[in-house]
Amino acid sequence: MKKLKVIGFVVLMTLSVTGCMSIFTALSVEPPVSAEASMLVLEAGGKETYLTNVNYTGWAPIVEDSRGTVVPFKMVNALADADTFYFAENVMPGTYTLKGFRHVYTNYDLLPEGVHPDYEPYVENPYHVRQEFMLDQAVTITLNPAEMASFGKYIITSEWVGGAAGTTADRWKVIPGSVKITSYPNDRNILKVVKSITNANWAPWNAMNPETPL
């Protein structure tokens, strides 16, 4: 799959209207809410490209703060030179731990008629089933004020029960024994790629980014 540059306004509007969320969930970013506000980022991919993150199946990082509260991350599948990009803006200084990755899939027996599911890995929906896969070794970051910090890069390979060819209600379930997560916590690629984003909304965040653009 050829990766795209950050897609333009017209394409974004088209995708948002058609509901095709496999490309991206959120390319927009909120501005810093204070002088101490920081950002956490990470990169994750499949065998050779972005992770599949759509309405019926998707992945998301499990990152907890020092109180054990899960931090929601936004997802972008639209950057060149990177796999799936996850970010959480406006997090406060403190200790954060990446414990693993959550896979959420739609169970069609639980889906009410007329309801169209979305990629919502941090929302409790009665038709979504959560599967959680922990890293062999959790990764902890001590986040400073006004800092962009990365958990690194992760490659996730897995197989669905049936996938697109399946007919069972749980066809998008990941077979637990098929999941393999390879960790590269020291990888800096996503910081370099993010530094290359020229959108003005990203400027205050990239001022906190310690890397140089690719």
Mean pLDDT computed over 64-68 = 98
Q: What is the DSSP letter of 29?
A: -
Other residues' Cβ atoms within 10 Å of the Cβ of residue 83: 22
Two tokens, residue 160: 């669905």
pLDDT at 14: 31
Coil/strand/helix, residue 177: helix
pLDDT in tens, 3-18: 444 433 323 333 333 3
Mean pLDDT over 116-143 rounds to 96
The three-state secondary structure class of 203 is helix
Q: Does 192 have pLDDT greater than 70?
A: yes
- pTM of the full structure: 0.88
Helix (H, G, I), strand (E, B) or coil at 213: coil
Structure token pair of residue 94: 């403190």
What is the arithmetic mean of pLDDT over 181-192?
98
- Nearest CA to 84 out of 117, 116, 121 is that of 121
Question: Can you tell me the distance from the alpha carbon of 195 to that of 129, in angstroms, rounded to the nearest whole number?
Answer: 35
- Enumerate long-range contacts of 119-125, CB under 8 Å, 24 or more apart: 119/21, 119/25, 119/53, 119/54, 119/55, 119/58, 119/75, 121/58, 121/59, 121/60, 122/60, 122/70, 122/72, 122/73
pLDDT, mean of residues 108-122: 95
Confidence (pLDDT) at 168: 98
| Domains in the chain: ranges and CATH | 9-206 (2.60.40.10)
Cβ-based burial of 146 (10 A; exposed 0-12, middle 13-18, buried ≥19):
middle
The pLDDT score that the predictor gives to residue 48 is: 83
